[in-house]
Chains A and B, each alone.
Chain A
Amino acid sequence: DAMVIQNPRYQVTQFGKPVTLSCSQTLNHNVMYWYQQKSSQAPKLLFHYYDKDFNNEADTPDNFQSRRPNTSFCFLDIRSPGLGDAAMYLCATSRDPGTSGTYEQYFGPGTRLTVT
């Protein structure tokens, strides 16, 4: 089935040790998003790609970086994780609403990041 896949589902890293989370999609959607979600809070958009164009949210810390080597894959790099970065990280995709007329986002199952 076409879907959004995130690996790993659970990631434990040490304070200050770089970590990479991955996302892949078989939907061939041109827009991909990374969200951070803490307990009982709204998903917070970190950045998104429109094709290869990278769009960073103004309040996303420099500690967070992203790469999208091709349509299918997108990575979230946390260069020096702090305790406050422990959260669920959600990847999502969508079609270009300008051509599809739809705005629905398709989410992966998330990666739960623990920082020790």
Chain B
Amino acid sequence: SQQGEEDPQALSIQEGENATMNCSYKTSINNLQWYRQNSGRGLVHLILIRSNEREKHSGRLRVTLDTSKKSSSLLITASRAADTASYFCATTSGGSYIPTFGRGTSLIVHP
């Protein structure tokens, strides 16, 4: 069964705007990862945040984690057309190293 659920399912914005995607999960996690998938391609790892961390940055990406709300958000600042892709959160829990993926958010950035 899926652990993470992304919201919204689809997001359409203009180039230069910020894009925010959310991920909610049901059980306690060890860490949460965000991946990007361009159409018809494999997934690419973006960032990992551990359960004892609250915020991480990588370039134009900012990830937050609120374990009390069992949720995470991915913010892409100053979006570009090349950011058009699906974004998935993936969680690991308990003793497992296997991440469980959500359904993803489809982001379209219009030039």
- List residues of chain A with CB under 8 Å of any chain B CB: 4, 6, 31, 33, 40-43, 45, 48, 88, 90, 92, 94, 97-98, 102-110, 112
Contacts and interface: CB of A to CB of B under 8 A. Distances in A.
A109 B2 CA distance: 23
A101 B69 CA distance: 25
B44 A107 contact: yes
Contacts of B71: none
Nearest to A90: B42
B45 A106 contact: yes
A112 B42 contact: no
Contacts of B102: 42
Given A45-B98, A48-B98, A94-B97, A105 B104 contact: no
Contacts of B45: 104-106
